[in-house]
Structure 1
Amino acid sequence: MGTPETKRVGLEAFAEVQRLIVVAAHPDDLECICGGTVAMLAERGVEIFSVNCTLGDIGTREAGILRPALAATRLAEAEEAARLLGIRRVYNLGHHDGELVASLELRAQIARLYRLTQADTLLTFDPYWPGQIHPDHRAAGQAALDAYMPSKMPLYRPEQLAENGADLCRLTRVFLFSTQREPDVFVDVSAVYERKVAACLAHRSQFPEGEKNLDWMKEMDARAGEEIQVPYAEVFKTMPVW
């Protein structure tokens, strides 16, 4: 996953984080990819905001269900998972699953949340990893990064700054997940792994067979754990911001 020369750090990479925003594509992305790290940061008292860009409204193999009904189910599942992980608030931007693009509209929606939450740290998909084959994942990560610079500018969407509690973006740290571009942060999540699994299983529409449906995730986290000689780990790539 990394190279011998890659500098590896753990949860201390997040030592100064006070307010974290996670921008993902679908309602179960956070839980499966970085749920352990989020749970550990919540235990430290970090305020965490989850942003799902899509409704997840095609994520089923069940015949006969309508997209609005599936969307409602997935919104409720996201709230339950957030409760288990200690996430303060979940936002959904309302785009259709499988149709997400890094549009100006999406950029503005995310910029608004940077300003409202006053988050100091962002976690999102790595849109530059060639293995990021899901278009929604690429779009969410790209839009999250594209929103950073304009959200710092007072003349960009000034109506957003009139909302109660809003101010210019204060992000100072960005970590990319779902990447194999030499990740440099490896977080041992073994101690909270049961909670991560429970949060994933809150998404019953996605994992109807329970933990059997999560074998892929456990294998992924175990491979990352081998890098630092622990049972399970989650990985991130630090992205400089200015």
Structure 2
Amino acid sequence: MLPEAEINRVLVVTAHPDDVDFGAAGSVALFGDRGIEVTYLLVTDGDAGGNERTLDNSGMAELRRTEQRAAAKAVGVTDVRFLGYPDGQVVPSLELRRDISRVIRQVRPDLVITHHPDRNYQHVAPSHPDHRAVGGSALDAVYPDARNPYAFPELLRAEGLEDWTVREVWLTGGPNPDHWVDITEAMDRKLAALQSHVSQIAHVEGFIDFIKTRFATWAEQAGLPSGRYAEAFQVVSTA
């Protein structure tokens, strides 16, 4: 794995508001504690989400952007970007690869965190079609697009964005994690981030207990002592 001391910038690429907070907000908070710069890139505004909603899609998109910025603030992230693709309609495309490559070249991260591109047959929720499309496109943007000076030449010609090599990718939501981060010290901040998404979780009874149970289970799988919490990832080297 990439040595911790060599991670200076992290880019998190997700499909919807709240995806990063379910998958990686604890790890993000810990990155911030170490002075690591973190940027969020959300492909959609989550305009097709919400429970018992009274807002149209435009109003829901605005609300969910606001909720995501509040959630990001809870874990110390201020750079939050949205691509504005339609929620529920994301597909792998050259356009999406270019848009993610653009942000990779702007941010120049050492580490990218994104969705696992494969369907998880153990737990269906991480396998939302948007998640899989974004994960696959983000991996394609990492390799080969963002590092290839001849891919999307308009990014250099028109925007001055030179190629950049991401050194490692962490995937969330996959069936076979191989890296766990002890987030116990950041669990309160992760919960605060998740609770910022009122439009998505206010109707869920026992939400906090559900989250604590889920991430305590990951900690148990990681071999951590009772009472600890962990987030799980699959690590992909780009060497």
| TM beyond 0.5 | yes
Question: What SS does the aligned partner of 1:90 have?
Answer: strand
* CA-CA distance at 1:214 after TM superposition: 4.2
* CA-CA distance at 1:126 after TM superposition: 1.0
Tell me how far apart the structure 2 counterparts of residues 204 and 19 of structure 1 sit (CA, whole Å): 29
Matching residue of 2:173? 178
Tell me how far apart the structure 1 counterparts of residues 184 and 157 of structure 2 sit (CA, whole Å): 43
Q: 1:201–1:211: 8 Å Cα contact kept in structure 2?
A: no
Q: 1:53–1:93: 8 Å Cα contact kept in structure 2?
A: yes
Tell me how far apart the structure 1 counterparts of residues 165 and 43 of structure 2 sit (CA, whole Å): 21
User: What is the letter of the counterpart of residue 112 of structure 2?
Assistant: L
Q: 1:118–1:166: 8 Å Cα contact kept in structure 2?
A: no
User: What is the letter of the counterpart of residue 238 of structure 1?
Assistant: V
User: What is the letter of the counterpart of residue 124 of structure 1?
Assistant: T
Q: Could you list the runs of 4 or more consecutive aligned residues of structure 1 that deviate by over 4 angstroms after TM superposition?
A: 162-165
- The root-mean-square deviation of aligned C-alpha atoms, in Å, is 2.0
* CA-CA distance at 1:86 after TM superposition: 1.2
Question: What SS does the aligned partner of 2:54 have?
Answer: coil
Tell me how far apart the structure 1 counterparts of residues 138 and 14 of structure 2 sit (CA, whole Å): 9
Structure 2 stretches of 5 or more lacking a match? Answer: none
Of 57, 62, 71, the residue aligned with 2:61 is 71
Offset from partner CA, 1:81-117 (integer Å, 9 cap, x none) = 1111111411111011111111111111000000000
Change (3 A) 1:130 1:13: farther
Q: 2:47–2:60: 8 Å Cα contact kept in structure 1?
A: yes
Matching residue of 1:85? 75
Change (3 A) 1:147 1:198: same
Question: What SS does the aligned partner of 2:77 have?
Answer: coil
Tell me how far apart the structure 2 counterparts of residues 165 and 201 of structure 1 sit (CA, whole Å): 39
Question: Is structure 2 residue 39 aligned with structure 1 residue 42?
Answer: no
Question: What SS does the aligned partner of 1:206 have?
Answer: helix
User: What is the letter of the counterpart of residue 230 of structure 2?
Assistant: A
Question: Is structure 2 residue 210 aligned with structure 1 residue 239?
Answer: no
Tell me how far apart the structure 2 counterparts of residues 156 and 217 of structure 1 sit (CA, whole Å): 41
Structure 1 stretches of 5 or more lacking a match? Answer: 1-8
Tell me how far apart the structure 1 counterparts of residues 118 and 11 of structure 2 sit (CA, whole Å): 20
Offset from partner CA, 1:113-171 (integer Å, 9 cap, x none) = 00000111111111124335310110110010011211112222223225777321231
User: What is the letter of the counterpart of residue 130 of structure 1?
Assistant: N
User: What is the letter of the counterpart of residue 226 of structure 1?
Assistant: E
Q: 1:127–1:141: 8 Å Cα contact kept in structure 2?
A: yes
Matches within 5 A, 1:1-242: 14-131=4-121, 132-148=126-142, 149-162=144-157, 166-181=161-176, 183-209=177-203, 212-227=206-221, 228-230=223-225, 231-242=228-239
Q: 1:111–1:147: 8 Å Cα contact kept in structure 2?
A: yes
Q: 2:24–2:231: 8 Å Cα contact kept in structure 1?
A: yes
Q: Mean alpha-carbon deviation: is it higher for 225-234 or for 73-82?
A: 225-234
